[in-house]
């Protein structure tokens, strides 16, 4: 099921790259940019994560925390985060439960092969837990600017 602007953001709890349990409720009263990406250390995911990282000051000016989610384990996340000096938490969703809740887990096709995988997706969640921005099938180039524009629109 895909989510839409105006929906209540599904609650979640996941282990972070810092080996801490992180839940959406910890961010009550704050804005959250939650982005789902397929895999650590792959070209598109690295570009996307580094783009969020290079704009972190602007996200902070808007009062928004950035959280990345993939199926990778915490050790992989820690290595990825350290390698690219990412200044935000990466959450491990090994069973794709959070991905499913947010509609970011779907059938994909690559080289004639069909499989289930993470659909690159981003959600902007307001202080009350309401989704204010939704992007599925994200194209990395120019995406962060769209997210920032959404944050500045209310």
Q: Which residues are catalytic?
A: 45
Pick the closest to residue 41 from 95, 80, 91, 86 (CA basis).
Answer: 80
Distances (CA, A) of 99 to 59, 122, 132: 23, 11, 18
- DSSP label at 137? S
Kindly state the greatest CA–CA separation across the chain. Answer: 45
Confirm if 69 and 14 have CB atoms less than 8 A apart: yes
């Amino acid at each position: 099921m895909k989510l839409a602007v105006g929906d209540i953001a599904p609650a979640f709890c996941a282990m972070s790259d810092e080996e801490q349990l992180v839940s959406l409720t910890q961010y009550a009263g704050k804005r959250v940019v939650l982005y789902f990406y397929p895999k650590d250390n792959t070209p598109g995911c690295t570009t996307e994560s580094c783009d969020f990282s290079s704009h972190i000051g602007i996200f902070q000016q808007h009062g928004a925390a950035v959280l990345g989610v993939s199926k990778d384990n915490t050790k992989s996340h820690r290595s990825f985060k350290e390698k690219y000096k990412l200044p935000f938490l990466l959450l491990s969703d090994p069973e794709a439960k959070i991905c499913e809740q947010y509609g970011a887990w779907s059938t994909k096709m690559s080289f004639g092969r069909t499989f289930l995988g993470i659909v690159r997706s981003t959600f902007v969640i307001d202080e009350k837990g309401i989704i204010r921005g939704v992007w599925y099938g994200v194209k990395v180039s120019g995406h962060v600017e769209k997210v920032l524009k959404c944050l500045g629109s209310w």
